[in-house]
Chain A
Amino acid sequence: EAGVAQSPRYKIIEKRQSVAFWCNPISGHATLYWYQQILGQGPKLLIQFQNNGVVDDSQLPKDRFSAERLKGVDSTLKIQPAKLEDSAVYLCASSSPGGTEKLFFGSGTQLSVL
């Protein structure tokens, strides 16, 4: 079974630039999550999709972050404009119907904002 695919693996940008991350979840997984993991900390949920609808985006900084999941499969997370404190690993995860019993994570995108 193919895992959760994420790209790019690394990204370096300057502050105020924009950046986008892509995620392809495990086939058949209805729920997709984007987490932000700052160095030395645990993952923090940014947004959760159920199919192509948003379940929770309470911790997403909506003035600069946006996410979409068209057709309920792939998802993109965008930051515009980026700030220094956005430097982190952005993890995508998916789970099968039934919700939060077991999440499958991608390898993440490591973002450095200079």
Chain B
Amino acid sequence: SQQGEEDPQALSIQEGENATMNCSYKTSINNLQWYRQNSGRGLVHLILIRSNEREKHSGRLRVTLDTSKKSSSLLITASRAADTASYFCATDPIQGAQKLVFGQGTRLTINP
């Protein structure tokens, strides 16, 4: 079963604008991760935020986590054409076997 739900399902913006994607999940987690997938390729790990963290930065990426609302957001600043990809959140649930559960993803298109 898929725990994470990304919103929106698709997002199209102009190059240079900021892109924000949201993820909601259902059960308590150890950590939440964001991955990028270019068309026809495997997933690439972007950033991990632990359940006791509220915000994390990596280059042009900013991730927030609100465990009370069971939600996370990924912000990509100053977007580039190369950021065009699908973005997935993945949660590591506290209960059950140790495994990552992926959401449905957000398809991001950056228009030049």
A binds B: yes
Query: Could you list which residues of chain A lie within 8 angstroms of chain B, going by C-beta atoms?
Result: 4, 33, 35, 40-45, 48, 55-56, 58, 91, 93, 99-108, 110
Q: Which residues of B contact A40 (CB under 8 A)?
A: 104
Whether A103 lies near B97 (C-beta < 8 A) is: no
Q: B109 in the interface, Cβ–Cβ < 8 Å?
A: no
Q: How far is the CA of A76 from the CA of B104 in the complex (A)?
A: 26
Task: Report the stretch among B42-50, B53-61, B62-70, B72-80 that lies at the interface.
Answer: B42-50
A41, B33: Cβ atoms under 8 Å? no
From B31, B41, B97, B102, A43 is in contact (CB under 8 Å) with B102
Assess whether B25 is interfacial by the CB under 8 Å rule. Answer: no
Chain B residues with CB under 8 Å of A48's CB are 97, 99
Q: Is the CB of A44 within 8 A of B102?
A: yes
B98 neighbours in A (Cβ, 8 Å): 55, 99-100
B42, chain A: closest CB distance, angstroms: 3
How many residues of chain B have a CB within 8 Å of chain A? 23
Whether A42 contacts B42 by the Cβ 8 Å rule is no
Bound Cα distance from A45 to B101, whole angstroms: 8
Whether B97 and A104, one on each chain, are in contact in the complex, defined by CB atoms closer than 8 angstroms, is no
Q: A101-B48, A102-B33 in contact; A45/B42 too (CB < 8 A)?
A: no
Question: B51 CB to closest chain A CB, in angstroms?
Answer: 13
Query: Are B41 and A101 in contact (CB-based, < 8 A)?
Result: no
A99 nearest CB neighbor, chain B only = B98
Query: In this assembly, does B2 line the interface, its C-beta being within 8 Å of a C-beta of chain A?
Result: yes
A102: which of B4, B48, B99 is its contact (CB, 8 Å)? B48
B15-40 CB mask vs A (1 if < 8 Å, else 0) is 00000000000000001010100001
